[in-house]
């Protein structure tokens, strides 16, 4: 996989004078069945999250509140993506190293995942990830 496979996805939004309602349907707006949902919040100033890759897991990452950046690394190239809208998600495919940083105060990062938590699915060492991604 390459970072070119990681794409911004605009989520459907219904707007009226009362505000916006955005929604997500598994398999329709997200290119995988959703098996797990989690969110990051109360992130201290200057902190970063992520720092890993997944062997099989697919994710859609959304800035539900505030903003943050995601640095994607496929072992060959890197790309920084800024998320700051609740109706925009970033699809992250397997075998992409990710670092999340530049969190605004009060930001909330929602993650929709294709698999339940499985420690064996993680690359937590960047050199191991690079070695395996070079052989893929």
Burial letters 77-95, b for 16+ CB under 10 A, else e? eeeebebebbbbbbbbbbb
Assess contact for 73 and 92: CB atoms under 8 A.
no
pLDDT of residue 26: 85
What's the confidence (pLDDT) of residue 61? 98
Query: What's the mean pLDDT in 66-84?
Result: 97
Active site residue 54: no
Q: Which helix (H) or strand (E) holds 133?
A: helix 126-135
Query: Which H or E run contains 89?
Result: strand 88-92
pLDDT exceeds cutoff 90 at 134: no
Q: Which of 48-62, 71-85, 122-136 has the lowest mean pLDDT?
A: 122-136
Q: Which one of the listed residues 29, 41, 52, 126 is annotated catalytic? A: 52
Tell me the whole-structure pTM to 2 decimals.
0.94
The domains located in the chain, with CATH, are: 3-14+27-121 (2.60.120.10)
At 135, the pLDDT band (50, 70, 90 cuts) reads: low
């Amino acid at each position: 996989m390459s970072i070119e496979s990681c794409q911004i996805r605009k989520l459907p939004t219904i707007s009226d004078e009362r505000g916006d309602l955005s929604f997500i349907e598994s398999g329709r707006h997200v290119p995988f069945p959703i098996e797990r949902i989690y969110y990051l919040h109360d992130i201290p100033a200057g902190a970063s999250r992520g720092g890993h890759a997944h062997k099989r897991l697919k994710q859609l990452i959304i800035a539900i509140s505030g903003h943050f950046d995601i640095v994607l690394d496929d072992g060959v190239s890197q790309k920084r993506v800024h998320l700051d809208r609740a109706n925009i998600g970033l699809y992250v495919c397997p075998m992409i190293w990710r670092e999340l940083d530049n969190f605004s105060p009060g930001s909330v990062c929602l993650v929709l995942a294709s698999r339940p938590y499985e420690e064996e699915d993680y690359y937590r060492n960047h050199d191991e990830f690079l070695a395996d991604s070079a052989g893929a």
